Amino acid sequence: METHTYRIEGMTCASCVRRVEKALQGVPGVASATVNLATEEATVTFDGVRPEKLAQALAERGYALVMDPTGEEKSRELREALLRTGLAWAFTLPLLVSMVPGAMLHLDWRLQALLSAGVVFGAGGGFFKRAALQLLHAETTMDTLVALGAGVSWGFGLIEGLRGEHNLTFETAGALVAFLLLGKYLEIRAKVHTGDSLTSLLKLAPSTALRLDGEGREEDIPVSMLKPGDRVRARPGSAIPVDGLVLAGSADVEEALLTGEPLPVPKLAGDAVIAGALVHGGSLDIEVRAAGRDTWLAKLAQQVGEAKASKAPIQALADRISAVFVPVILVLAALTFAAWWMHSGDISQAWRPAVTVLVIACPCALGLATPVALTTALGTAARNGLLVRDAAAFERLGSITDLAFDKTGTLTLGKPLLRETRILSEDGTDLLRLAAALERDSEHPLAKGIRDAAKGLVLPRVQDFRAHPGGGVSGVIEGRALRLGNAAFIGAEFTDVPADATAVGLAEESRLLGLLILADAVRPDALAAVEALQGEGLRLHLFSGDRPEPVQKLAMELGIAEALGGCSPAVKQTHIAEMQQQGRIVAFVGDGVNDAPALAQADAGLSLSGLEAAQGAAPLNLLREGLEPLLNARRLARKTKKIIRQNLGWAFGYNLLLVPLAAFGQLERFGGPMLAGAAMGLSSFTVVLNALRLRRI
């Protein structure tokens, strides 16, 4: 048995996943086929099957299998979608302008027919192709609705034009396709970025490494050439290229983006390190335990992909209804035609009520109900600092029952700040100024926290400066030999240090002059945001990779009942999955790479600004600082859901009311198909007008 992954083109909805899987599994020799709509990939296990056979099976259903996918495939698809959308609107706008009373532009019906045909059968030709292929297999989707509505509208307009009528429906056909193509373009653009999270995760680890030979000489080689047992060197300021064990050297290793621990961790011989972590203050010689796709970071990227694949795609309401709606309308139109023909004996009288049924049931408003509301909402969201990668997740944000937070960088600022200065000796009155001078050129995060606190102070010069990896720094200032660092380096015991803080001591020879207490700080708007969300009836949770003590302390401070510390990425993801199994709708807010699986697992994953990898994994990205954009995003999502329901209610109510009247010929006295065309335009106008209310949020 062989297993291969192929890219699939042409999938537009959740029902496409089932059709592709069914088509692939129907090929003799295929053992299994699993399709991921988010990444547009199919993983197929087979024995002795040529890929051409798989491609042929999909082509018969209207889909394309790409056997040798490259990064250009999705970019090409996006460009083609943009071109189709641009052409559709270029041809549709003259049709819409000519409808405006008093407009100077009045197009001959023949020119209207040509412009509309360019939109319907040119730019929108894919709808007709897919609908025809699906019809051959007795299946209907939104493509069927679009092809039916646009085709009948255009055909009726042509017939009326030839008859010399003035109430044409070319603009209705063109506008329907143009709006839907715009929605398809936005959908494809979101899918293009779906895989970016995996790429961003893997980029955190360098692609090359300094391998050491038997004599300790360095050789810069691709990480892919490394194997377990090799030795590599990680220099100060660089990222560790592999998972491994420290053989020699000492340094502080920053793992905040990977584990959620906000402060660097000292690493000595015998300590384990992971790929992607940053080295500060010294070099580390590392024995390779795992490299490339076998590292913890690569497996984390795989977790993100699996979470996206395992999430049940939400099928659009219009797609679900279309499975019954379209066949019913076709049968009803045929029965109407037959009944009127038998009643009148005149085929010329029978076709008008039948066409009126088709036109009045044309899914203009149904097709516009969701995409117009979402398009308007996404523009409003962008202005309010929310980037939406997945419209379905945005809709679910308005229905969540639980919201889980990460701690570091989410409810806190994610960087050590000076919380307290303790002067322990009469000679330590200049504690902050002296410490900042010693840390003047250090890249260590604690050093930055000290320098930030000393802004505005005039720092003295340092002589005989030395860095002591894993310990601290030393130097001579104004004739005083000073050392700054942790308790082991100073040779003293630091007492009464809070569990959520780190202490740095300043010593002169053997005397401890004082302590600088640094800790991550709570975001200024965190308490107000938590209270507002709890006021909406949401259950709040705190899941963090940081130590349990500071996690519990923060939860008590903010009033969050459920808080868990020491959570690995997999544990966060598992907790969210368990809540989902209980029927809860869960949102997760985070900012680190360690949050990526949870962001992908959640019904609505929101990343705060700052880290590309986390933003790529999350379908919703908050681009502005603070938690206020989170509150705005939820309010907008709830209003959008309400607008979409109103639009769908109007669209279905319009059909339920007018289709029976059309079938019984009650609309003939008012113009029959001409009235149907006008009603379709009014229905679509009402839906669009209602959606535009989202711009005022």
Start-to-end C-alpha separation, the chain: 55
Given a contact cutoff of 8 angstroms between Cβ atoms, the answer to whether 391 and 377 are in contact is no
Given a contact cutoff of 8 angstroms between Cβ atoms, the answer to whether 626 and 604 are in contact is no
Residue 262 to residue 257: CA distance in whole angstroms: 8
Per-residue CA distances from 121 to 78, 91, 110, 321, 546 (Å): 20, 12, 16, 25, 58
**For residue 437, what are the contacts with CB-CB under 8 A and spacing of at least 6?**
459, 460, 461, 462, 475, 477
Per-residue CA distances from 51 to 48, 66, 237, 669 (Å): 10, 9, 47, 59
Specify the long-range contacts of residues 333-340, CB closer than 8 Å, at least 24 apart: 333/357, 333/358, 333/361, 335/663, 336/662, 336/663, 340/665
Order of all β-strands in the sheet with 251-254: 265-267, 251-254, 278-280
**For residue 300, what are the contacts with CB-CB under 8 A and spacing of at least 6?**
201, 258, 569, 593, 594, 596, 597
Give the Cβ contact number of residue 529 at 10 Å.
Answer: 21
Query: According to DSSP H, which parts of 361-402 are helical?
Result: 364-383, 391-397
Name the CA dihedral angle for 351, 354, 360, 364, rounded to a multiple of 10 degrees: -90
Residue 402 to residue 537: CA distance in whole angstroms: 9
DSSP reduced 3-state for 186? helix
Residue 352 to residue 664: CA distance in whole angstroms: 11
Give the tokens for residue 185.
Answer: 């373009």
Of 406, 430, 546, 603, which one is the catalytic site residue?
406
Q: Could you confirm whether 406 is annotated as catalytic?
A: yes
Per-residue CA distances from 396 to 194, 314, 401, 603 (Å): 18, 10, 10, 7
Beta bridge partner(s), residue 9: 64
DSSP reduced 3-state for 457? coil
CA angle 391, 395, 397 (to 5 degrees): 115
Residue 350 to residue 14: CA distance in whole angstroms: 38
Given a contact cutoff of 8 angstroms between Cβ atoms, the answer to whether 96 and 126 are in contact is no
Residue 464 to residue 474: CA distance in whole angstroms: 8
Give the tokens for residue 397.
Answer: 């944000």
Beta bridge partner(s), residue 462: none
What is the separation of C-alpha 5 from the centre of its chain, rounded to a whole number of angstroms? 22
State the number of CA atoms in the 13 A half-sphere of 586 facing the CB: 25
Residue 369 to residue 142: CA distance in whole angstroms: 13
Burial of 193 (0-12, 13-18, 19+ CB in 10 A): middle
Residue 242 to residue 173: CA distance in whole angstroms: 58
Per-residue CA distances from 111 to 99, 172, 359, 579 (Å): 14, 15, 22, 58
Residue 96 to residue 541: CA distance in whole angstroms: 51
Give the tokens for residue 114.
Answer: 């040509």
Active-site positions?
406
